[in-house]
Amino acid sequence: MSLLVKICGLKTPETVAAALEAGADMVGFVFFPRSPRNVSLTEAALLAEPVRGRAGIVALTVDATDDDLAAIVDVLRPDLLQLHGAETPKRAAAVRARFGVPVMKAVRIAEAADLAPVAAFAPHVDRFLFDAKPPPALAGALPGGNGLAFDWRLVRDLDPGRPYMLSGGLDPANVARAIAVTRTPAVDVSSGVESAPGVKDPDRIRAFLREARAGAAGAAGEAAA
């Protein structure tokens, strides 16, 4: 199976280079001040220079205003806008129409009922990202990048009507198993390749790419057997 791998929340030239050299298909930049992975537009534009033409550039936003999105689109010129907040299907459709950039909507999951909004979003987005929903005890947690996983079996046989990425708690040690369970076409990682919140580890980035590719190859072999 052909697997897409996204490394999200990059902040330094060294980690961008590690992601590209290891074969990442997408790299993500976070525009959310509360996140330890937050970058300024100027920083992101500089980091994205070596990425353009080699991997997809993803801008992660959380309930961003039209003015914020306009600045991101103008300065960064992303290939994908990731909506990681409480955006509605109507808002996703408006963003997609106004800015002419493909949209990926994050859906946070803890139980099967959390997949209910997928049908409403599907006509208005180009891709989904299935992330873990923080438990009530972590009500103040960030929208993503919390290092939490959900029950991957919930999306194993799901056809959301759009391509999707699996996220939430993935790391080099479990990504191959996650791929085997879900047969996901794409994976996304952030905190799972960090040595501290917001601090990406080039060695862990390389390990994640290596294990993800091996997991995809193993899943493809099983499917063909």
Q: pLDDT per residue over 51-86, tens digit each?
A: 999 999 999 999 999 999 999 999 999 999 999 999
Would you call 131 a catalytic residue per the annotation?
yes
> Could you give the CA distance from residue 165 to residue 129 in angstroms, rounded to a whole number?
5
Q: Residue 147 — pLDDT band, cuts 50, 70, 90? A: confident
Give the mean pLDDT of the chain: 94
Average pLDDT over residues 21-33: 97
Q: With CA atoms as reference, report the closest residue to 142 among 26, 28, 38.
A: 38
> Could you give the CA distance from residue 184 to residue 118 in angstroms, rounded to a whole number?
16
In the set 8, 74, 114, 159, the catalytic residue is: 8
Would you call 8 a catalytic residue per the annotation?
yes
Does residue 224 register a pLDDT over 90?
no
In the set 131, 157, 171, 201, the catalytic residue is: 131
> Could you give the CA distance from residue 162 to residue 215 in angstroms, rounded to a whole number?
22
Does residue 139 register a pLDDT over 60?
no
pLDDT at position 171 = 97
pLDDT at position 144 = 59
Q: Which fold has domain 4-224?
A: TIM Barrel (3.20.20)
